[in-house]
Amino acid sequence: MTATIDQRAPGTPGPGPHPVPATPAAAGAKPKDPHYIALRNFALSISIFNTFGYTLLGFEQAWIFPLIAITVAYTTELTLETIQAWAQRRTPRYRGKGLRGPYEFLLPAHITALAVNMLIYTNDNIGPVIFGVMVGVSGKYILQAPIAGRMRHYMNPSNFGITVTLLVFSQWVAVAQPYEFTENANTYFRIMIALIIATAGTVLNTALTKRTALIVGWLGGFAIQAFIRHWIWNISLFSALGVMTGVPFVLFSNYMISDPGTTPSKPRAQFMFGGSVAMVYGALMLANVVYTLFFATAIVCAARGLGWWTVHLYKKRKTQPAVTVPSTTAALSTAA
């Protein structure tokens, strides 16, 4: 089979079928946004888990609580975005894509609402849940730092809302007890719950969020701090490592600490972030601080934001031109 070269001038019609310009469909569809896919899958996963939690697993919060939490999250997110867009004289991010605009924009708020309601227990008091959701969503607009050339939030919204709620309502609320996640399941199904969550979270973080290094740093650092506390402070190794076998720990590791919006993107920085949370966790445990997972993550996120502000101010000061003040002698000679 030989190839022939058409020597006609460009644009000159000739016999036979003419080449058809490639259309966007023929050239291939536009690749999907991995950030959107990750958010969508996170929101879908936590929605399914909450549905099973209330129907099969044993969640003890009132059925109306997640619906109220979602309503508050949506309202807070839309209100703050509208105000910020007005102040910055730009179009709100939820406009311009039809119905898909609000849908995509509200996915983070949806995740925050269900996570806060699922991971804290307030008995029959809805107030702390509303407070936690509002704090978590509002933190994205208030606590920002110049990261990679633009202002971005640095506090994990769900974790921040839970942390502040536990601090403010320390005598009224507590974290959801681990038994709630497997209360109505038999022995074999209890094991499967943890395995299913771990598998789904691993696939999600590996394929979409690209936070594998962070998870490795977190799990490895957690094991290391457990052995250190055992060897130096004689802490029971079974108790220190046993936390890793619970469903709450699996949920936290795959769906909380790995938040792509508030964690580093480079593998090395991810590993250091995860390891830092584990080391802060160990230090807080030695200080007998309760609700340690949430406080450790909040401390590391806050330190990261403070670090970004420090770097930004240092670079800004370094690039400012030096102001030359004329000496007294030069000023007198000029006047003369």
**Which two three-digit tokens encode residue 32?**
């999907």
Whether residue 8 is predicted with pLDDT greater than 60 in this model: the reply is no
What's the rounded Cα separation, in Å, for the pair 266 and 289? 31
Please report, in angstroms and rounded to a whole number, the separation of the first and last CA atoms in the chain.
94
**Which two three-digit tokens encode residue 176?**
């959801």
Whether residue 59 contacts residue 180, with contact meaning beta carbons closer than 8 Å, is answered with yes
pLDDT score of 20 = 44
What's the rounded Cα separation, in Å, for the pair 286 and 277? 14
Q: Report residue 6's pLDDT band, with 50, 70 and 90 as the boundaries.
A: very low
Where helices occur in 120-186 by DSSP H, the ranges are 127-142, 157-168
Q: Which of 241, 238, 199, 247 is nearest to 221 (CA)?
A: 241
- Give, for 23, the enclosing helix (H) or strand (E): none
Backbone angles phi, psi at 173, to 5 degrees: -125, 165
Whether residue 10 is predicted with pLDDT greater than 80 in this model: the reply is no
Q: Kindly report the pTM of this predicted structure.
A: 0.84
Whether residue 18 is predicted with pLDDT greater than 80 in this model: the reply is no
Backbone angles phi, psi at 8, to 5 degrees: -70, 155
Least confident of 35-49, 100-114, 219-233: 35-49
Report the share of the chain in percent with pLDDT over 90. Answer: 62
What's the rounded Cα separation, in Å, for the pair 302 and 154? 7
Give the DSSP letter of residue 17. P
What's the rounded Cα separation, in Å, for the pair 102 and 248? 30
CA triple 309-157-218, angle to 5 deg: 80
Query: For 156-192, how does the pLDDT look when each residue is reduced to its tens digit (9 = 90+)?
Result: 999 999 999 999 998 889 999 888 888 777 766 777 8
Q: Which of 214, 246, 241 is nearest to 225 (CA)?
A: 241
Q: Report residue 144's pLDDT band, with 50, 70 and 90 as the boundaries.
A: very high
Q: SS3 for 151? A: strand
